[in-house]
């Protein structure tokens, strides 16, 4: 998989992809993550990429020219299954969408900033708009990092145990059950006996029951 991220603040995206699972995925050659500075495609001598909005109002708008130029350049080099725009009014990022995106070959992600992008970019280039929640960030960079992390970890070979992602929260519409590790007793707090029994079938039944119980308690909306 290749992911191209378009941003006016590339420095915000250096750390999230330089450590842990995201770094290992790149080192293994399972994903390429390329960050492009939209300012490099500005024709303004000051490298400005924003302007006042027509009709007046507070807040600047990302200009159409540098974004369109960068998108067109990338599209001449390869085909993209999705060109994504990070925006609060997009489709809510949920596990099924992450699963779908993880099966794609090339993704492009545009990070919004200021008051947003010129609407013509959304109308003529963007194929999918994604939100990470009903709130507003200073820009789309952190949201893009979340999308990339949630998608890349699903690519076969990224996690040491490929079954781990399949048992994560939301994969089966439920929250994950409680988990425990050694020691079996600490401060008088004991690990449930069933988990120490070695009976795989009963353990799986217990986990399923606990997952349903936790979902009913914490996220009953998922059961609908």
Q: For residue 168, is pLDDT > 90?
A: no
The maximal CA–CA distance of the chain, rounded, in angstroms, is: 70
From 121, 152, 183, give the residue that closes a domain.
152
Over the stretch 63-76, which tens digit does the pLDDT of each residue have? 999 999 999 999 99
Q: Are 5 and 109 contacting, i.e. CB atoms less than 8 angstroms apart?
A: yes
Q: Quick one: 60 and 140 in the same domain? A: yes
Residue 161 lies in a domain: no
146 and 171 in a single domain? The answer is no
- CATH code where residue 94 lies: 3.40.1280.10
Domains of the chain: total = 2
Of all residues in the chain, the percent with pLDDT exceeding 90 is 91
Tell whether 117 and 188 lie within a shared domain: no
> What mean pLDDT comes out for the span 133-162?
94
159 within some domain: no
Is residue 216's pLDDT more than 70?
yes
DSSP string over 149-196 = HHHHTTSTTSSSSTHHHHTSTTTTSSPPPP---S-SEETTEE--GGGG
Evaluate whether residue 162 is within a structural domain.
Answer: no
Do residues 37 and 92 both lie within one domain?
A: yes
Residue 169 pLDDT > 80 = no
Section 43-67 average pLDDT: 94
- If asked whether residues 126 and 186 sit together in one domain, one would say no
pLDDT tens digits, one per residue of 184-210: 999 999 999 999 999 999 999 999 999
Same domain, 14 and 69: yes
In a domain, 27, yes or no: yes
What is the pLDDT, as a whole number, of residue 170? 79
SS3 for 210? helix
**Domain shared by 178 and 132, yes or no:** no
* One domain, residues 145 and 179: no
Structure tokens at 29: 């050659």
Residue 104, in any domain of the structure = yes
Q: Above 80 in pLDDT, residue 162?
A: no
Write down which residue in 120, 152, 184 finishes a domain.
Answer: 152
The yes-or-no verdict on residue 140 having pLDDT over 70 is: yes
Same domain? For 141 and 190 the reply is no
Give domain status of residue 200, yes or no. Answer: yes
Tokens standing for residue 49: 């990429």
Using the 3D structure, point to which of 122, 152, 182 is the last residue of a domain.
152
- In terms of residues, how long is the chain? 224
Token representation of residue 164 = 């781990």
Does 195 lie in the same domain as 89? no
Q: What is the CATH number of the domain that holds 215?
A: 1.10.1270.20
Structural domain boundaries, residue 82: 2-152
Residues 69 and 93 in one domain: yes
Long-range contacts of 15-22 (CB under 8 A, 24+ apart): 16/145, 16/148, 16/149, 17/145, 17/148, 21/149, 21/152, 21/153, 21/158, 21/159, 22/148, 22/149, 22/152
Identify whether residues 28 and 70 lie together within a single domain.
Answer: yes
């Amino acid at each position: 998989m290749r992911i191209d991220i378009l941003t006016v603040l590339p420095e915000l995206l250096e750390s999230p992809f330089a450590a842990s699972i995201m770094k290992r995925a790149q080192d293994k050659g399972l994903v390429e993550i390329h960050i492009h500075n939209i300012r490099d495609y500005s024709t303004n001598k000051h490298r400005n990429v924003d302007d006042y909005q027509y009709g007046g109002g507070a807040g600047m708008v990302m200009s159409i020219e540098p974004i369109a130029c960068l998108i067109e350049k990338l599209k001449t080099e390869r085909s993209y299954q999705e060109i994504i725009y990070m925006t609060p009014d997009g489709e809510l990022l949920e596990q099924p969408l992450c699963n779908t995106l993880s099966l794609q070959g090339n993704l492009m992600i545009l990070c919004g900033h200021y008051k947003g992008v010129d609407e013509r970019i959304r109308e003529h280039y963007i194929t999918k708009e994604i939100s990470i929640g009903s709130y507003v960030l200073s820009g789309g960079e952190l949201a893009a990092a979340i999308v990339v992390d949630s998608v890349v970890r699903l690519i076969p070979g990224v996690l040491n145990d490929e079954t781990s992602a399949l048992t994560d929260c939301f994969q089966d519409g439920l929250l994950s059950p409680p988990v425990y590790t050694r020691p079996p007793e600490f401060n008088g707090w004991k690990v449930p006996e069933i988990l120490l029994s070695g009976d795989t079938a009963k353990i799986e039944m217990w986990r399923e029951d606990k997952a349903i119980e936790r979902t009913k308690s914490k996220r009953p909306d998922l059961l609908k």
